[in-house]
């Protein structure tokens, strides 16, 4: 499909659903509409967002940022006394790989980025961001495993430009209150070059949570 045809497709879809789109109040509803109308591809979705903003005054990105900030604030308040999980993450654009692990590196998820990774874009920052996103996902799984309403994650990364705000949507969705620390001695860095791979299911969530319980017991 040519760029001109893509624009025409986006314009026709948005014009035809103008009243429906104006009634939507969240980015989730807007993106759901895009998926239903097959406008969620990398080529069409940016054009659809532009057309919505130009013709209907609907700024998807602004709506998403506002809703995400509100949800993140709610999760942070609810997680004030929640257990803290500590993880390290790293991305290596040179070999297109990532790693997430605990302090020892034994509980780990690492391997090459998949071709359909929604964040990685062949550069260092997106590699680090995708790895960090995976760490938030793991913290969310640990929360589910422990049947907790929220959990806190102290995430160590070696990239100074990684911002918690960039992960707010994922963190809110998984009920994770996120704090980022820059650490250039991360055990995850070496794992990016480790042979083979470990899937996220290789991480023992009970071990991550046991570490939290041990720290809390020692502090009491």
* Percentage, residues of the chain above pLDDT 90: 73
Of the pLDDT bands very low, low, confident and very high (cuts 50, 70, 90), residue 15 is very high
* Residues in CB range of 26: below 8 A, 6 or more apart: 63, 67
pLDDT digits (tens, 9 = 90+) for 53-81: 999 999 999 998 888 888 888 988 988 89
Whether the CB-CB separation of 63 and 27 falls below 8 Å is answered with yes
pLDDT on residue 187: 94
Give the 3-state secondary structure of residue 62.
helix
Which residues share a beta bridge with 156?
Answer: 88, 181
pLDDT digits (tens, 9 = 90+) for 74-115: 988 988 899 999 999 999 999 999 999 999 999 999 999 999
pLDDT on residue 127: 96
Of the pLDDT bands very low, low, confident and very high (cuts 50, 70, 90), residue 214 is low
CATH code of the region 81-219: 3.30.420
Backbone angles phi, psi at 89, to 5 degrees: -135, 155
Report the alpha-carbon angle 41-172-111, nearest 5. 60
70-96 exposure pattern, b = at least 16 Cβ within 10 A, e = fewer: ebbeebbeebeebbbbbbbbbbbbeeb
Q: Provide the residue ranges of all domains of the chain, joining segments of one domain with +.
A: 3-58, 81-219
pLDDT on residue 100: 97
pLDDT on residue 213: 55
- Spatial distance between the Cα atoms of 208 and 171, rounded to a whole number of angstroms: 18
pLDDT on residue 180: 94
- pLDDT, greater one: 215 or 27: 27
Of the pLDDT bands very low, low, confident and very high (cuts 50, 70, 90), residue 35 is very high
- The sheet carrying 108-112 orders its strands as 108-112, 97-101, 84-92, 151-157, 176-182
Reading the block at residue 21, the tokens are 């789109």
Through-space distance between the first and last CA atoms of the chain, rounded to whole angstroms: 63
pLDDT digits (tens, 9 = 90+) for 182-206: 988 899 999 999 999 999 999 999 9
Can you list the positions of beta strands (E) in 28-175?
A: 84-92, 97-101, 108-112, 151-157
Name the one residue in this structure whose structure tokens are 């035809």: 16
pLDDT digits (tens, 9 = 90+) for 114-131: 998 989 999 999 999 999
pLDDT on residue 210: 77
Backbone angles phi, psi at 92, to 5 degrees: -125, 100
pLDDT digits (tens, 9 = 90+) for 173-187: 999 999 999 988 899
């Amino acid at each position: 499909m040519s760029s001109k045809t893509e624009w025409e497709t986006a314009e026709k879809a948005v014009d035809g659903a103008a009243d429906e789109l104006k009634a939507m109040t969240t980015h989730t509803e807007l993106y759901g509409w895009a998926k239903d109308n097959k406008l969620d591809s990398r080529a069409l979705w940016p054009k659809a967002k532009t057309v919505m903003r130009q013709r209907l005054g609907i700024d998807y990105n602004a709506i998403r940022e506002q809703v995400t900030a509100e949800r993140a604030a709610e999760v942070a308040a609810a997680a004030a006394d929640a257990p803290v999980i500590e993880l390290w993450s790293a991305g290596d654009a040179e070999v297109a790989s990532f790693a997430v692990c605990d302090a020892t590196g034994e509980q780990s998820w690492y391997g090459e980025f998949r071709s359909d990774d929604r964040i990685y874009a062949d550069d260092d920052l997106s590699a680090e961001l995708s790895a960090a996103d995976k760490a938030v996902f793991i913290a969310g799984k640990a929360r589910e495993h422990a049947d907790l309403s929220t959990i806190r994650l102290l995430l160590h990364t070696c990239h100074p430009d990684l911002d918690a705000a960039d992960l707010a949507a994922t963190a809110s969705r998984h009920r994770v209150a996120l704090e980022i620390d820059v650490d250039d001695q991360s055990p995850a860095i070496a794992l990016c070059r480790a042979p083979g791979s470990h899937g996220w299911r290789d991480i023992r969530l009970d071990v991550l949570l046991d570490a939290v319980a041990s720290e809390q017991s020692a502090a009491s």
